[in-house]
Amino acid sequence: MRLARYLGGGIVEIGDEPAPLCPPGGLLVRTEACGLCSGELMDWYLDRKVPHVLGHEVAGIVVESEDDRFPVGARVFPHHHAPCGTCPDCLAGRTVHCRQWKSTRLNPGGMAERFAVAAENLADTWVAGDLRAIDAALIEPLACVEKSLRKAAVHPHDRVAVIGLGVMGLMHLLCLRARLAVPEAQSVGFDLLDTRRDWATRLGLSASAPGPVTGAFDVVVVCPGSAAALRSALELAAPEARVVLFAPLPPSSPVSLDFEALYFREVQLLPSYSCGPADTEAAIGSLRRGILRAEDVVSDFIELDRLPDAYGAMKRGEILKAMVVFP
């Protein structure tokens, strides 16, 4: 079977290897669609894993099953990590810190013509036959957004800023449109690029270039993993604001913070890493209600052979998001 492998330094190649076998108690899936995650563009993060088969934003059709909940022919979304549900972290709702969650994965990855889903991953695998494959492939990134907004405890009358109008920033604003009382007046996205602001505007979202606005927002979501974005977020934050750190900064990028100001203004910093089964379920519900369609955030639906070029274009900001659609 053919697949996309990350080799390090931003290099992706299309290769071949034998298809995996159906694991005991698990599934073998024929891939229908797989999105390229913005997190997979971070060299400093992925270079630790080389060689690495890309892809975890994935949906496909079950071709072999050892679990009656997921029959052959069903369209499924499997999360690439799944918790045990019984450890202290799971019982406390900290599913991404569960030891099983950290150890599970798809074999070999979603950017392959076939992939295997271990029995452990079925704790966060869902039948999604009522969704298009290209929409079901967005369940995982949308679940990360659901967790982000849950951690921010967004109230219908909050004023919300989203920094960065890449695909994840757009997803935040689309979800906020369904949560806020007057979304067009209460939420705004900020981005340096005209093309991204224009894309948001075409979706009916409020978008602006970074400017002199200060202390105006109850919630600020920081999508880029950069010190400059974090500084902008703190400038936008009102007293008692919740600032969500949606992406990590590289380990070689320490940030100086004015902790005196943070303390007296009571600004909260809330890291939001990945998602768990409850967030997955919320994302599926949002997709079923039509809050998001793949065309809202995917600029390039491509074949697998085009992925190396699309990877570079997405990394350079020339395209918004690539999704591989398999025949």
Model confidence band, residue 215 (pLDDT cutoffs 50, 70, 90): confident
Compute the distance between CA of residue 28 and CA of residue 18 in angstroms, rounded to an integer.
13
Compute the distance between CA of residue 149 and CA of residue 15 in angstroms, rounded to an integer.
38
Average pLDDT (6-23) is 96
What local confidence, expressed as pLDDT, does residue 253 receive? 78
Helices (DSSP H) in the chain: which residue ranges? 43-46, 88-91, 99-103, 133-136, 139-152, 167-179, 183-186, 194-202, 227-236, 259-265, 277-288, 294-297, 307-315
Model confidence band, residue 191 (pLDDT cutoffs 50, 70, 90): very high
Q: How wide is the angle at C-alpha 301 spanned by C-alphas 299 and 302, nearest 5°?
A: 130
Contact 111, 53 (CB under 8 A): yes
What does the block give as tokens for 31?
Answer: 């891939």
What local confidence, expressed as pLDDT, does residue 314 receive? 97
Residue 13 predicted with pLDDT over 90 = yes
Residue 88 predicted with pLDDT over 90 = yes
Model confidence band, residue 211 (pLDDT cutoffs 50, 70, 90): confident
Model confidence band, residue 270 (pLDDT cutoffs 50, 70, 90): very high
**Window from 212-216, 293-297, 298-302 with minimum mean pLDDT:** 212-216
Q: Enumerate the β-bridge partners of residue 16.
A: 2
Contact 301, 11 (CB under 8 A): no
Compute the distance between CA of residue 170 and CA of residue 90 in angstroms, rounded to an integer.
30
What local confidence, expressed as pLDDT, does residue 223 receive? 98
What local confidence, expressed as pLDDT, does residue 252 receive? 79
What local confidence, expressed as pLDDT, does residue 254 receive? 82
Amino acid at 212: P
What local confidence, expressed as pLDDT, does residue 231 receive? 93
Residue 255 predicted with pLDDT over 90 = no
Percent of the chain with pLDDT over 70: 100
Compute the distance between CA of residue 192 and CA of residue 205 in angstroms, rounded to an integer.
16
Amino acid at 146: E
The residues, any chain, with a CB within 8 Å of residue 194's CB and separated by 6 or more, are none
Contact 255, 269 (CB under 8 A): no
Residue 291 predicted with pLDDT over 90 = yes
Contact 296, 170 (CB under 8 A): yes
Q: What confidence tens digit (pLDDT) does each residue in 16-45 have? A: 999 999 999 999 999 999 999 999 999 999
Domains and CATH numbers, the chain: 2-138+298-325 (3.90.180.10), 148-271 (3.40.50.720)
Q: Is 181 exposed, middle or buried (0-12, 13-18, 19+ CB in 10 A)?
A: exposed
Q: Enumerate the β-bridge partners of residue 260.
A: none
Average pLDDT (177-187) is 94
Contact 26, 110 (CB under 8 A): no
Q: What confidence tens digit (pLDDT) does each residue in 143-179 have? A: 999 999 999 999 999 999 999 999 999 999 999 999 9
Residue 106 predicted with pLDDT over 90 = yes
**Between residues 122 and 185, which one has the greater pLDDT?**
122
What local confidence, expressed as pLDDT, does residue 68 receive? 98
β-pairing, 237-245 with 217-222?
parallel
Q: Enumerate the β-bridge partners of residue 59.
A: 33
